[in-house]
Structure 1
């Protein structure tokens, strides 16, 4: 794949491409700072629009026209862009939800199943919910290129078939249907969807050293199941197009392949999507489409009711294509079916329907600049606690985390990349500084909410995102339980709700060797006993028992050797130290290793 580009500055490339959408579609505006393309509000001189659910999606740049090209009437209300092949930040997404879309009837967030996207979009969703906004989130995983065994708890990746979910949900939202109904139909479409891709070469990212680390394919070789971020697929081989298509359709449809039998095509109606990964000529894509349709009919007796062929979700200029099949099922919403929703008009540059003449003539120049919805101001909840005692306990716990940094770093050097201890210490020090400058008020919701941005701004990586999601969910849970006194039992109930919220964005559970191994026992025992000391003991015991535990998630999965048998999980250990500090154990105490 060529490493030559007309624009070699990736930041300029993304910003200029987003701006270009406002030139080719008068319906949309762009928040350049947050890289959000949004549907413009109604012109002040025109009739107001009928309220509808707003659908927001997004992800890394490099997949155009997804997702920004799908913004407009009949599809997305906004799309949030990251840098090339990287998730946008939670703050970008939060701004999109709270200030760049109409939220009167709620917001549906649709995201593809990639860890960074799920965590950052999920964090933004929880923050919006904590602020009182009605938000639902649908995660789409439709790639069968990686089977169950290899995907494990992470699940299937999201690829081009996702645009069918966006179109169906967008059309239903445009009809004024409620948030619950739109989200249900989006999930229904997602579980009835399978996709697989193939490519002749990996792509080159602008601004990256030319071919420095590319895994080149041999001449004539093709890779099946390649992801849209250059990820490897299920295998490579020398084969012509009929053989390649045959293998791809088998992965999509062979019910005997237990590792990939994700969909039982039991409907008389199937929608076919042939997607160009960016580097296939229109002429060649036509030949591919003909081969796919021919084999579907001759080998499987499938004659699609709709055949969509074009460029919907790319991997920059990837020399490949993907095939998606949607099993059309009853939506049970009293009226529009999936095909009708796919056929419904939309006015976006990334879909087949052209922009209407009336839109061009209107020359709408209205913009969204009001950031009031992104304010972090938190109203008092009436959930009371002793601010002096709370500050003292929290200080002890944070100091214990700081003192534990050398051990946590040593553990993470054995089983990870060595940054866990530093990250926890940095977060703890930042919270201590915050407490010294902004004393606690005694309102549990206000005080926890004031700590959330400190964690978000100082703790990076996956653990930082997990803590931020958890704390945002905790703010929401505490607000629901207020007013009254913040008793241990009330804290336990709120923490349990936060665990449930966190579980929607990560598959980590006790036994996977993550910080969750210390979190869940603490919450469970606190709920049963109301005793912080006993809960901390349970967390410490569970963290110690991660020694020898085979990791199911995180970087430790990829680290070889037997080091994991000798040390506990760093994240679980660091969190257990925090809980021990809450229970009164201080680093300066003699025998502080035992509570």
Structure 2
């Protein structure tokens, strides 16, 4: 890999790159603090439009910020290089940088951090009464089904086709689309895209010290190319001696279209396809015709999603299927629809330059405190605080045990993360900030957990609590009782499954959480629910992990999953105080 960059400070590089967006497209504005590029509000904008938001780690320019503009994205949120943006950034984008009144659609690539953080922001917004949906794009066939397992295909450059088509629908002058229609179209487009890439070398993140070319671990040899390498240097399908371009294109198209490759064939009835959209060069078009009898309806060749200084390219193919929305809103029609984004390589309108001094989104909302609308569901504050405090103190006491387990099978931070979150909630209780409104209280707990618990466990707990708040809001009015908690917890568990594929047997906290909630719903007994949680945690001893960092650990022996133990301890503390 080459370690040469014009700017070697990754923070400065990202910040200056974001500042360039409104300089090159005056219809845009920048929220510097939250790294959000968004469309300025305009009087002539059509009311009732779904706000389409995307984002992810930086380092893939022009994705995602250069696709912000009328007709594509309303906003994009940027993380650091190759790192997901935070929940705070995403939530701020949903609530402050777009008009959420007609619904917000989040389009996210299939990476764990992106799904969890965008998912948590989505659940927080729902708990606050905003209509939000999220679609995950997973188009990379570079690694097949068997190796992908439950994680699924990665998201790569085909994602920009979802941005363009759904963004055009959301801004269509032919009639505003509903959030349900926009979400359904995004899912349809995502299901009909396949992509694959290849690279001559790994990319280099500015500011990181690496060995000389060819010496770093896992580097490609000078005469090698990697088929299916991911956009963050993830391992691909295989490495081969660098072939001539026609042979390389043949290999890549084979992965995209060959019916013989059952591990990667995600599109059926290839011979029946009448129209395809592709992104690469003359060689691709020639082989699509000669080998597969496919004549593309559109060919877009250019820079859409990069990987820093990576020396490679990818091919994305989109099968044009009926959207069910009429000819004007066909996939092809929406691809051709006018827009004002630089990433889709079209000029900005002259009138936009003339109106470049119009004010940005009002800053009045920035100064307002975030508030959760009240509900009609009440709780006994004294009883709630006593029970929860006992559970949290039990969890804090168990921190050394949980940390010891995590040091053996993970990165050693599970116990400390749980302790930190528990201590923060105890401080909230000590400050008498527990509301008699059940929804407001659970939302506050979610906020504390999000701010104080790091890592995947923090995101999962926060998503669950935000989903719990939404379910409680829908429970109606009156005193919250055990039955209400149990039913709402079941709903929150279902919501959690949208953001993690974990199931009992995967060696995660779900091994304890799911049986605990099911027991609570069936028996209405906290003691029995705690026993079910402990049994679930104990069942993880010797279990092979399917998700999380434990996947990379060899034999786990008799060590239980630390996250599952945390759930069991918490429930035992609750049961003791009830």
> What TM-score do you get using the length of structure 1 for normalisation?
0.93
Please name the residue that 2:177 is paired with: 177
What CA deviation, in whole Å up to 9, does each residue of 1:484-518 have, x standing for no partner?
Answer: 12111110111011111110000001111100111
Per the alignment, residue 318 of structure 2 pairs with 326
Query: What is the distance in 1 between the residues matched to 2:412 and 2:208?
Result: 26
Aligned to 1:427: 421
Partner of residue 521, structure 2: 527
2:480 matched to 1:486? yes
| Aligned mate of 1:366, from 348, 359, 381 | 359
Q: Do residues 102 (structure 1) and 95 (structure 2) align? A: no
Tell me how far 1:363 sits from its aligned partner: 2.2
Note closer, same or farther for the CA distance 1:501–1:189 as it changes in structure 2 (3 Å cut).
same
* 1:553-568 matches, cutoff 5 A: 553-560=547-554, 562=555, 564-568=556-560
Higher mean alpha-carbon deviation, 442-451 vs 400-409, is at 442-451
Shift of 1:59: 0.4
The answer as to 2:256 corresponding to 1:247 is: no
Q: Provide the C-alpha distance between the structure 2 equivalents of 1:271 and 1:341, rounded to a whole number of angstroms.
A: 13
Q: How big is the shift at 1:483?
A: 1.3
RMSD of Structure 2 on Structure 1 (CA): 1.5
Q: What is the aligned partner in structure 2 of residue 226 from structure 1? A: 229
Contact 1:404 1:577 in 2 (8 A): yes
Matched, 1:142 2:139: yes
For the 8 Å contact 2:387–2:577, the answer to whether it is kept is no
Q: State which of 104, 108, 120 in structure 2 corresponds to 1:111.
A: 108
Question: Which aligned pairs between 1:48-197 and structure 2 lie closer than 5 A?
Answer: 49-175=46-172, 176-197=176-197
Could you report, residue by residue, the CA deviation over 1:454-508 in whole angstroms, capped at 9, with x for unpaired residues?
1111110011111111111111111111311211111011101111111000000
Deviations 1:11-58 (A, max 9, x none): 11111111111111011000000000000011xxx5453431110000
Residue 356 in 1 paired to residue 349 in 2? yes
Q: Does the 8 Å CA contact 2:428/2:434 hold for their aligned counterparts?
A: no
Contact 1:141 1:190 in 2 (8 A): yes
1:438 to partner: Cα distance:
2.6
Counterpart position of 1:260: 264
Deviation track 1:143-176 (CA, whole Å, cap 9, x = no partner) reads: 0001111111000000001000100001111112
> Alignment partner for residue 289 of structure 2, among 293, 297, 301?
297
Contact 2:279 2:301 in 1 (8 A): yes
Q: Secondary structure at the match of 1:565?
A: coil
For residues 470 and 371 of structure 1, the distance between their equivalents in structure 2, rounded to whole angstroms, comes to: 31
How far apart are the structure 1 equivalents of 2:211 and 2:128? 46
CA distance in 1, matches of 2:364, 2:134: 22
Q: In the TM superposition, what is the alpha-carbon distance from 1:214 to its structure 2 partner? A: 5.9
For residues 102 and 292 of structure 1, the distance between their equivalents in structure 2, rounded to whole angstroms, comes to 41
**Which ranges in structure 1 are unaligned for 5 or more consecutive residues?**
275-288, 587-595
Query: What is the Cα deviation at residue 585 of structure 1?
Result: 6.7
CA deviations 1:255-292 (Å, max 9, x no partner) are 12111011123420111123xxxxxxxxxxxxxx1111
Once the two structures are overlaid, the 10-residue window that deviates more, 477-486 or 23-32, is 477-486
Q: What's the secondary structure of 1:154's corresponding residue?
A: coil
* Conserved 8 A contact 2:400-2:415: yes
Q: Give 1:375 deviation, angstroms.
A: 4.0
CA pair 205-48 structure 1, distance change in 2 beyond 3 A: closer
Find the counterpart in structure 1 of residue 411 from structure 2.
Answer: 417
Partner of 1:384: 378
Q: SS at 1:256's partner residue?
A: coil
Q: Distance in 1 between matches of 2:80 and 2:375?
A: 38
Give the Cα separation in 2 of the matches to 1:162 and 1:29: 23
Per the TM alignment, residue 199 of structure 1 is displaced from its structure 2 partner at its CA by 0.6
Instruction: Please give the per-residue CA displacement for 1:536-591, whole angstroms capped at 9, x wherever unaligned.
Output: 1111111111112111100111001x2x23011110011110001110179xxxxx
Q: Please say if 1:582 is aligned against 2:570.
A: no
In the TM superposition, residue 352 of structure 1 has moved relative to its aligned partner by 2.4
Q: Does 1:273 align with 2:279?
A: yes
Equivalent residue for 1:342, pick from 335, 340, 344: 335
C-alpha change, 1:261 and 1:375, in structure 2 (3 Å) is farther
Q: Which residue of 2 aligns with 1:511?
A: 505
Unaligned runs of 5+ in 2: none
Q: Is the CA contact 2:386–2:577 (under 8 Å) kept in the aligned structure 1?
A: no
Mark the CA change 1:439 to 1:48 in structure 2 (over 3 Å): closer, same or farther. Answer: closer
Residues 106 and 371 of structure 1, relative CA distance in 2, 3 Å threshold: farther
Give the direction of change, closer, same or farther, for the CA distance of 1:214–1:12 in structure 2 (3 Å limit): farther
Secondary structure in 1 aligned to 2:318? strand
* Equivalent in 219, 237, 240 of residue 237 of structure 1: 240
Match of 2:540 in 1: 546
* Secondary structure of the structure 2 residue equivalent to 1:184: helix
How many pairs were matched up?
567
Give matches, 1:14-29, under 5 Å: 14-29=14-29
**Conserved? CA contact 2:111–2:155, under 8 Å:** yes
**In structure 1, how many angstroms separate the alpha carbons of the residues matched to 2:103 and 2:383?**
39
TM-score by length of 2: 0.96
Pairing 1:312–2:316 present: no
CA–CA distance in structure 2, aligned partners of residues 124 and 453 of structure 1? 11
